[in-house]
Amino acid sequence: MEIQVNPAAPDRRKPKPADESNLGFGDLFTDHMFLMNYEKGRGWYDPRIVPYGNLEFDPAAMGLHYGQEIFEGLKAYRGRDGRLYLFRATDNFKRMNRSAARICMPDLDIPLAMEALQRLILLDRDWVPGSPGTSLYIRPTMIATDPFLGVRPSHRYIFYIIIGPVGAYYKEGLNPVKIYVEDKYIRAAVGGIGEAKTAGNYAASILAAEEAHAKGYTQVLWLDAVERKYVEEVGTMNIFFVINDEVITAPLNGSILPGITRDSVIRIPGDWGVKVSERPLAIDEVTAAAEDGSLKEAFGAGTAAVISPVGQLTYKGRDYSVAGGRMGDLSQRLYDEIVGIQYVEKEDPYGWRIPVEE
């Protein structure tokens, strides 16, 4: 399928941020976006790059009512060699297709999605920031558009990609965050939609996050929905604990998001000879390890957050300091390795970098 390109007129283009050191997250978008439509029996059609702007939906569009919406989060980087690179982008589109299957939405053609993304980035290449810690955030999104209020899969969808320059996701940057271990609300249960990257999982998290923010915490750590016993994820990122010499994260049991950065964090230390376990980890094991000194580090891992060290956990009214409230050695080494690969400062033995080119 031929992608049509309708560039924005020069006088409609927006000013780029003057100061890259002040970039936040998710509030700036470039001059263009990619769009295409889907209709049952016809498939995807009309792939196009157009000026960034509002979308028009029927007020009855099913995605707005019943949550048939999925998205992805990935990044492009300006490498130290001056070229642009995507990081593991095909893995994001594969995950999007798994999310689509769970929410009864159509499959994307991954080569087409990759071509669309590459062309969009190239058209808006001047928006890709180059300062340390900055990148181009990419948000592919699919939403059901049938104007119909019965509950069933929609027959029509829109897929779009928007992009924009970002800095750190958390205002703390690489400074350790304070995490509240949530034992009242739950994010997702096994058998539900927790492993799909879909709006409902984020909607489920907002009230708990608001209550935690009001108490001075950056995020909540979710426990399993049945026993409120096992650690799951943070909602904006997956979570890892280093107890003695073992790096531990929750297994992909259906209720947590299969993070791409999570996968990188599992593979890299394994190659350094550090033991990484995907196993159920009870919050009581974490707090006991914090008390006896065997909890060495804890950190979150996600595309937006990269590696985010945890400096304090609070569970059932008790505070547990982690790594003396500083970034641990393994967290720092992992951050340096992942960021080094992304910015072409290090070798890429995994083949994760994808050059963005014509």
Return residues touching ligand COI (CB under 6 A).
73, 236, 302-304
Q: Is the CB of 205 or the CB of 312 nearer to ligand COI? A: 205
Alpha-carbon dihedral angle through residues 253, 255, 259, 264, given to the nearest 10 degrees: -30
Question: In the bound complex, what is the minimum distance in angstroms from residue 302's beta carbon to ligand COI?
Answer: 4
Q: Is the CB of 98 or the CB of 326 nearer to ligand COI? A: 98
Question: In the bound complex, what is the minimum distance in angstroms from residue 73's beta carbon to ligand COI?
Answer: 2
Look up tokens 């928007």; give the residue: 162
What residues are paired with 315 via a beta bridge? 318
Q: Is the CB of 190 or the CB of 206 nearer to ligand COI? A: 206
Question: In the bound complex, what is the minimum distance in angstroms from residue 235's beta carbon to ligand COI?
Answer: 7
Q: Is the CB of 168 or the CB of 268 nearer to ligand COI? A: 168
Alpha carbons 160 and 264: distance in angstroms, whole number: 26
Question: In the bound complex, what is the minimum distance in angstroms from residue 189's beta carbon to ligand COI?
Answer: 20
Question: In the bound complex, what is the minimum distance in angstroms from residue 259's beta carbon to ligand COI?
Answer: 8
**Residue with the shortest CB distance to ligand COI:** 73
Q: Taking Cα atoms as reference points, which of 203, 170, 194, 218 lies closest to residue 314?
A: 218
Angle at 176 between CA 347 and CA 243, to 5 degrees: 75
Question: In the bound complex, what is the minimum distance in angstroms from residue 71's beta carbon to ligand COI?
Answer: 7
DSSP secondary structure, 232-264, as one string: -B-SSSEEEEEETTEEEE----SSS---HHHHH
Contact 76, 136 (CB under 8 A): yes
Q: Is the CB of 255 or the CB of 303 nearer to ligand COI? A: 303
Q: Is the CB of 146 or the CB of 195 nearer to ligand COI? A: 195
Q: Residue 350 CB: number of other CB atoms within 10 A? A: 13
